[in-house]
Amino acid sequence: MPTAADVDGIVRQYLAWSRRRPVEIAFFGGNFLGIPEHRRIPYLSAAHRWIRSGDAQAIRCSTRPDTITEDTLETVIKYGVRTVEIGAQSMDDHVLDAAGRGHEAVHTRSAVHRLRKYGIGIGIQLMVGLPSEDMGSALETARQVAALKPDFVRLYPTLVFPGTGLDRLRRSGAYRCLSLEAAVECCAAMARILVAADIRIVRMGLPPIPDDRAVVGPRHPAFGHLVISRIYRDTVLANIQGRGAAPMTVRVHPRDRSRLTGLGNATLHVLSQALKGAPITVIADPTMVSGTLQIDDRPPVTTWHAELVQYQPLGLRHPQRNAASDAKASIQNL
């Protein structure tokens, strides 16, 4: 575990080279609200010093849904915690039980309710490919999360690390990792549901894992790009059914060209097969709205709400409750 001094050093190092503003200090990689208070408070105090100096504006953390209590929130908002990411992983209790998560979907719903009561930004982290999950379960999870209206979502494929309980299940044959193709398909279907509900997706796929040679599962350095390319591909396929072997021209905004063509032109190969080898012309047209495409002379169709797939710090909100002024005074007095 890092020390409070480590927190101070990391923030200082970041501010020395980054001009990005506003600045959020994030406690990730663990169950932050679940660690003992005597260890959590020194971290928050170290981070809050940077908020008082004006060099940082807020704190965010990730945690299990069953650790989000009103008592805990009463404490952390005083230190400038403005966003909490909930490690929900699934909204299917059968899947959560099979994965040994130790919490249920109701804990996620309760956590969202409490965070909203305190005016804290809400993120939900979902993991596809857990034990006992199928496509129907994953899509129902996406629908339930969309109904909760979080501020953003992260979509992660399940990876298996050596020596874990999931690794033992995999070795025994009781669990099989999703293939990369299946993980991309599942995340694309979930993403459509979330984006249709105007839910921001800030990440799909995991960042690079140090020394990951023993890690098993659907990992790819451009996983999010694969998912978005799948959505572009499926959008085109849905609009060319029954077209036959006829040439096709597709216009997209320049920044969307690679999303349409896919890595190594993989999407174009699929579309070419659907057109029985007929030529496909892709035109990067700056007059097109990003996230839309136009097939031949047809009206443009929305493929992807590009503005909903990017990281943006939430508007550093103060608690929206009766004791908001007391909380603000407490922050100033720390």
Residue written as token pair 């190969």: 269
The answer to whether 189 touches 265, Cβ cutoff 8 Å, is no
The answer to whether 186 touches 135, Cβ cutoff 8 Å, is yes
Residue among 142, 157, 72, 76 nearest 110 (CA): 72
Q: Name every residue whose Cβ is closer than 8 Å to that of residue 134 and which is 6 or more positions away in sequence.
A: none
SS3 label, residue 123: strand
Evaluated on CA atoms 14, 18, 23, 29, the torsion sign reads negative
Q: Name every residue whose Cβ is closer than 8 Å to that of residue 26 and which is 6 or more positions away in sequence.
A: 59, 60, 61, 62
The answer to whether 202 touches 155, Cβ cutoff 8 Å, is no
Q: Which two tokens stand for residue 280?
A: 């496909």
The pLDDT of residue 178 = 95
How far apart CA 214 and CA 21 sit, in angstroms, is 37
The answer to whether 157 touches 217, Cβ cutoff 8 Å, is yes
CA distances from 122 to 50, 263, 315 (A): 23, 33, 12
How far apart CA 318 and CA 179 sit, in angstroms, is 43
Query: Which CATH number describes the domain made up of 4-208?
Result: 3.20.20.70
How far apart CA 291 and CA 293 sit, in angstroms, is 7
User: What's the CATH class of domain 228-304?
Assistant: alpha beta
Q: Name every residue whose Cβ is closer than 8 Å to that of residue 177 and which is 6 or more positions away in sequence.
A: 129, 158, 159, 160, 170, 216, 217, 218
How far apart CA 316 and CA 312 sit, in angstroms, is 11
Residue 82 is classified by DSSP as: E
The pLDDT of residue 308 = 54
The pLDDT of residue 323 = 35
How far apart CA 227 and CA 208 sit, in angstroms, is 17
What does the pLDDT profile of the chain (334 residues) look like in tens digits? Answer: 889 899 999 999 999 998 888 899 999 977 999 999 999 999 999 999 999 999 999 999 999 999 999 999 999 999 999 999 999 999 999 999 999 999 999 999 999 999 999 999 999 999 999 999 999 999 999 999 999 999 999 999 999 999 999 999 999 999 999 999 999 999 999 999 999 898 999 999 987 777 666 789 998 989 999 999 999 999 999 999 888 888 999 999 999 999 999 999 999 999 999 999 999 999 999 999 988 999 999 999 988 665 555 545 554 444 343 333 333 322 232 3
CA distances from 177 to 19, 132, 174, 238, 285 (A): 40, 11, 10, 29, 40
pTM confidence score: 0.87
Q: Where are the domains of the chain?
A: 4-208, 228-304
**Dihedral, CA atoms, 175, 206, 236, 264, nearest 10 degrees?**
-100
Q: Is the peptide bond before 22 cis (omega within 30 degrees of 0)?
A: yes
How far apart CA 56 and CA 23 sit, in angstroms, is 5
The answer to whether 236 touches 229, Cβ cutoff 8 Å, is no
Looking at 77-145, which runs of residues are DSSP E strands? 81-89, 121-128
